[in-house]
Structure 1
């Protein structure tokens, strides 16, 4: 087995590695984000105050049972944070939502730091705080923020408690689907893949069983058809083709508001065909990424080296090859990048910087200048297109990294004293 290499030199001053500094940074960043949500430009809490609150009140009044006898756009566990935020009443719903997400983030932050955080964990923690700040209000104001926190916690818990880590990732998947990428990546990278599958299947069976007892029938799976029936959302990478045409004054491409899905979409020559092709294309792209990952695993690539880039590649594929696109999708990147920074700070520093740029560009578009994007102003279309191009660049980077692992054999090199070493010896043990 190759010897562990020394930990990368810290880029953080000593005082920034102290727990008190880290937690003060956490409190400050979340205070800023909460203030921006409550008093910032562009109604960033629109989904929370208009959509989530309506769902919560309709469910508690008995008017609807989302996911049971009424189709629901999200998996059924999404109702848990949506209903929990009503505990102090409708007037305080938004503030309760922001508090709930902050608490979940704090739990993930505590797991990341542990009792005595190492240099890599401190670097990852500060990166996450900067990422949240650059992403802006939407980092807290969507259901994706809940799944991001639960997924980050699950990925980190895998290091020491693989069973509970897999359970948390399964629960996150039943809040919003994207964390299933972590389960699938583990199925490829880990030799304990059948244990991972058993945990996911068992957790899912309990959730589905409870819904069936409540009378859901196949409505429990309505979130699948609700997503496939969508048009092309304006922030998806493929929509850039029509947004650019509109920005250049080429007739035919129009931005409109879908009253059923409650999102802005684009329509123009070829959008119907593109919308029909994108779902199977997404499946093909995911399959190709998994095939490359499987090839690397069969070639002897260490699971600790394979899992983080494979997970990030899958998450980026779910974003880049999707006809649905929203600013909150950027929160999905946090978990894989935190995992990478903890395991190998040097190798993941540059991808983490690219993600920071993506977060900053996203906040420029939403919420501050979103109306200009809806009017397809050239400057905003350019900003969004640049963000989407960076998604493709980062995806290609991760696929290239996985491809290079096809010639790697033996154990991964994990810095001594790094929490990633514990993770390496757990769920993805060779």
Structure 2
């Protein structure tokens, strides 16, 4: 009966995945127009512009919107492999392929002993909640790498290290997957891979690490937690501006620097909490690395001075991995992240004009979305601490279960 139920669930899952992803493809290929600004312009204008520069053997050093580690060049150049398609179409196909890869990894893991298909369902539901933005950014590719790294961790620690380092060289945040890693093989493989990739890119392409200096003068992005200060302040005459700056729509003007500094301070506090947790944790279970990575990325997303919609793809991917494990306590935070994903598609792109205008609808959406993220962060951190640090005795097996186990042993 369990096998029949599992196959029926699998059939439903694959059917719904195919339907929802077809809808996403129809939107990005503009068979149907999604409400709000065109989310595909990043691919057709920005990414394709970078592609033309990168294919000459150098990074776009004159473009301050290039704010990514060197391996991001591989993601931007990858549509060129599908030479029979134009750049934009090829990118969408590759994003779709990354989505499918993440699903297959979650399905493979979910069908193994001690795992569950709940993680695959989280990915199935979470991605379309974010709308076509998922296929119009390369973050889904990075997330697929992160999902593979976490799922490989328990059985193949060196593979996890290699994949984590590669993911971090694509977009930095996957370095947080190491927060809950205990095996030396993970750290060693990650360090060696990062060093090798850094040397290769530094030698092969000029300006591989110029991105490190491109964010110094950023403002506070209009969707971030700190932006709520200025959304409210605009109602009382704050005379700053909302401008496209460093590739995103940001607040610029009085006190923006102070709020951005405060955001960096919160990120520092988050890092301190993670370090304290790592020093205090005494119990590491199979799901602990995934839970810790989820908490770490939640913390750094919620406190960042930029919360772009595609950041939610990272959280959905890590949430899915958490719920692959039967023992994970992250169910409520995962539900909150899925709710935040739905509100995210409403604030961008559907009603982004209201966000930029700081009107009642826009501010309400941001308070709800960012509130959900903060609440998910606090609850997830509390659950991680309780399950790994709080010194509660492990309950003994019931006497009946003990006798059953003893009688099942070979004589």
TM-score normalised to structure 1 length = 0.82
C-alpha separation in 2, matches of 1:182 and 1:115: 18
> Highest CA radius of gyration, 1 or 2?
2
Equivalent position to 2:229, from 241, 245, 250: 241
2: CA distance, partners of 1:282 / 1:165: 25
Change (3 A) 1:35 1:249: farther
**1:383 CA drift (Å):** 0.6
- How far, CA to CA, are the matches of 2:305 and 2:110 in structure 1? 43
What CA RMSD, in Å, does the superposition of the two structures yield over aligned residues? 2.8
Structure 1's unaligned 5+ residue stretches are 1-9, 414-430
Whether the aligned pair in 1 keeps the contact of 2:243 and 2:249 (CA below 8 Å) is yes
- How do residues 45-60 of structure 1 correspond to structure 2 at under 5 angstroms? 45-60=40-55
- The answer (yes or no) to whether the contact 1:155–1:335 under 8 Å persists in 2 is no
Q: Which runs of 5+ in 2 are unaligned?
A: 397-411
1:285 shift after superposition: 2.0
Structure 1 runs (4+) greater than 6 angstroms displaced = 67-71, 409-413
Q: Map Cα deviations across residues 336-393 of structure 1 (whole Å, 9 max, x no partner).
A: 2122211136733322211110000000011111122112221121111211111111
Q: How far 1:113 moved relative to its partner?
A: 1.4
- The structure-2 alpha-carbon separation of the partners of 1:305 and 1:100, relative to structure 1 and needing over 3 Å to count, comes to closer
User: Matched residues in 1 for 2:316 and 2:237: separation?
Assistant: 37
- Residue 412 to residue 66, structure 1, CA distance change in 2 (3 Å): farther
Deviates more, 1:228-237 or 1:403-412: 403-412
Tell whether 2:59 aligns with 1:66: yes
What residue is the counterpart of 1:285 in the other structure?
270
CA drift at 1:130: 0.6
TM-score by length of 2: 0.86
CA distance in 1, matches of 2:156, 2:60: 31
Question: Any residues of structure 2 matched to 1:145-224 within 5 Å, and which?
Answer: 145-186=140-181, 190=182, 192=183, 194-214=184-204, 216=206, 219-224=207-212
Q: How many positions carry a matched residue from both structures?
A: 387
* 3-state secondary structure, aligned to 2:94: helix
Shift in alpha-carbon separation, 1:280–1:93, aligned structure 2, 3 A: same
Cα distance in structure 1, aligned partners of 2:377 and 2:69: 26
Per-residue deviation at 1:278? 3.0
- SS of equivalent to 1:140: helix
Matched, 1:359 2:341: yes
Q: Aligned partners of 1:116 and 1:313: how far apart in 2?
A: 21
Aligned to 2:354: 372
- SS of the equivalent of 2:173 reads coil
Report the secondary structure of 2:71's partner residue.
helix
Q: Distance in 2 between matches of 1:120 and 1:314?
A: 22
Alignment partner of 1:86 is 2:101: no
Larger RCO (CA under 8 A, 6+ residues apart): 1
Counterpart of 1:348?
Answer: 330
